[in-house]
Amino acid sequence: MPKSESVSLTQQEDIAAVQGVADAAEKNLLQVADLSQQARAFAALARINIAAEKIAEKADQ
C-alpha cells in the first residue's frame, strides 16, 4: 500500500474515532440535559408543595 493511501486510511480512522467521541459526548449531554430538566421539575414541585402547605396553614387559622 503506498504511503499516501496509508495516511488517508489513518485519517479516516481518526475521523471515525473523533465522530465516535463526539456522538458519545452528545449522548452524555442529552442525558445531563434530561436530568437537569427533571431536577427543575422536582424543584418546581417542591415550591408548589411549600405554597400549598402555607395556604393550608392560613386556612387552618
Q: Which pTM value belongs to this model?
A: 0.57
From first to last of its 61 residues, the chain has per-residue pLDDT tens of: 555 556 688 888 999 999 999 999 999 999 999 999 999 999 999 999 999 999 999 988 8
DSSP codes, the chain: --HHHHHHHHHHHHHHHHHHHHHHHHHHHHHHHHHHHHHHHHHHHHHHHHHHHHHHHHHH-
